[in-house]
Amino acid sequence: MELSEATNFFNYQRMNAKKNTLKNYEFVLTRFENYFGNIELTSITSDNILPFLTNIYLVCIILFQFEYQDPLTFIKFGI
């Protein structure tokens, strides 16, 4: 099974999952597909997954910081 076929599972979940679950699935699956491309899922190893998860973790930290950052902080410190 190729990755593009596996992401069709997401379309099935649209009918059965809650809104925030879908947002989280879309966030991870989109980045997963961009990171690995359209390859066979069986060819992905744990050595490939760790850098991907690290990348996702760092993106989440950055997004969280900006979401809860006071917009005036950039002005106060001249950033």
Res 48 pLDDT > 50: yes
| Domain-wise residue ranges, the chain | 3-76
Name the residue among 46, 42, 13, 15 with its Cα closest to residue 29: 13
Q: Name the band, by pLDDT with cuts 50, 70 and 90, for residue 79.
A: very low
Which DSSP string corresponds to 28-56? HHHHHHHHH-S-BGGG--HHHHHHHHHHH
Global pTM reads: 0.61
